């Protein structure tokens, strides 16, 4: 199947590890040039190395997606380096389990800032670049928690991820007539660093409750991001694709 991504320019936020790193490599395998954005330089540069190993051009731009100036600079540096922007995965995110009544205002703000406000900031600066290109596709990373089910202790994360799905639908409607497709993906349990604080016993219980009896791998999400950004998905917009090994179908 021709994905139509050869020579295109893809931007991945949260590209320094996990799903973002796998997505950067998957875009490169599909023939795209890749811009990797995250706060950690060493890890971001390691993703760039992995992308270059595939034979693609790549650039790391140190970015805190919660800061408007950083996001604006990220888009400018992408255009300076590669001349255009075609595909985006707004993937940066973070969540910590804290009982709702014990959560501080600072913790609420930090999680909603990175998981929701930052996605809006990214869209605000990315969409004008896509309009200049003349077409484009964006995938925003939501979550099974927030988009589909509730998870105890993840109140602000789930609220923000639910917001990402609403934001995605609204943005998709605003730009559908201008050849820009905007979709969301809601991953279930995916084996990445984000699970490092979950005790092994709870992790095993979660895995046992998944119909496919395994956690997803970053690659399982990355290939779906690339497909959603490709010509193969050219009539899909405003969609929230749940990828969870069947968990929420039970
Ligand atoms: N793994 C799962 O089970 C799961 C399930 C549902 C949804 N998700 C979502 O998938 C996305 C990727 O998570 P992951 O599982 O791959 O975890 P991860 O390996 O911890 O990746 C999170 C990424 O977000 C980046 N990030 C966090 N805050 C940032 C900020 N302020 N500015 C820029 N980058 C920032 C991190 O980079 P730096 O620290 O270098 O900035 C890192 O690259 C997240 O949105 C997460 O909520 C994951």
pLDDT digits (tens, 9 = 90+) for 85-133: 999 999 999 999 999 999 999 999 999 999 999 999 999 999 999 999 9
Atom of ligand 1 nearest to the CA of 221: 10
Domains of the chain: 9-243 (3.40.50.720)
Catalytic residue list contains 157: yes
- Structure tokens that stand for 65 in this block: 């997606």
Give, using CA atoms, the residue closest to atom 29 of ligand 1.
92
Task: Count CB-CB contacts under 10 A for residue 209.
Answer: 12
Residue 91 alpha carbon to ligand 1 centre in Å: 6
User: Could you read off the pLDDT of 135-165 as tens digits, one per residue?
Assistant: 999 999 999 998 799 999 999 999 999 999 9
Q: 143 in ligand 1 pocket by Cβ < 6 Å?
A: yes
Q: Which of 60, 82, 157, 227 is catalytic?
A: 157
Alpha-carbon gap, residue 174 to 189, rounded angstroms: 31
Question: Looking at ligand 1, which atom is closest to the CA of residue 19?
Answer: 16
Q: Give the strand pairing for 240-243 and 87-90.
A: unpaired
pLDDT digits (tens, 9 = 90+) for 22-65: 999 999 999 999 999 999 999 999 999 999 999 999 999 999 99
Q: pTM for the full model? A: 0.98
Cα Dmax for the chain: 51
Tell me which residue has its CA closest to atom 47 in ligand 1: 93
Distance of CA 147 to the CA centre of its chain: 14
Task: Quote the CA–CA distance of 67 and 89 in Å, as a whole number.
Answer: 17
DSSP secondary structure code for residue 240 in this structure: E
231: Cβ–Cβ under 8 A, 6 or more apart, which residues?
Answer: 2, 3, 4
């Amino acid at each position: 199947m021709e994905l139509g991504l050869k020579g295109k320019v893809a931007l991945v936020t949260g590209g320094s590890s996990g799903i973002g790193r796998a997505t950067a490599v998957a875009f490169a395998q599909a023939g795209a040039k890749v811009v990797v954005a995250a706060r950690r330089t060493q890890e971001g540069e390691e993703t760039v190395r992995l992308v270059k190993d595939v034979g693609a051009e790549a650039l790391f731009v140190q970015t805190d997606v919660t800061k408007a100036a950083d996001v604006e600079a990220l888009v400018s540096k992408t255009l300076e380096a590669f001349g255009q922007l075609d595909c985006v995965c707004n993937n940066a995110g973070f969540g910590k389990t804290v009982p709702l009544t014990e959560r501080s205002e600072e913790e609420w703000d930090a999680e909603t800032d990175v998981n929701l406000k930052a996605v809006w900031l990214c869209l605000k600066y990315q969409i004008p670049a896509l309009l200049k290109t003349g077409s484009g596709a964006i995938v925003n990373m939501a979550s099974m928690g927030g988009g589909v089910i509730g998870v105890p202790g993840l109140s602000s994360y789930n609220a923000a991820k639910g917001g990402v799905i609403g934001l995605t639908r609204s943005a998709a409607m605003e730009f559908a007539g201008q050849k820009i497709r905007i979709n969301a993906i809601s991953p279930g349990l995916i084996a990445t660093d984000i699970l490092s604080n979950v005790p092994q016993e709870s992790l095993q219980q979660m895995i046992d409750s998944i119909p496919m009896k395994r956690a997803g791998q970053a690659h399982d999400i990355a290939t779906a991001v690339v497909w959603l950004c490709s010509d193969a998905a050219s009539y899909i917009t405003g969609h929230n694709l749940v990828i969870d090994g069947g968990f929420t179908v039970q």
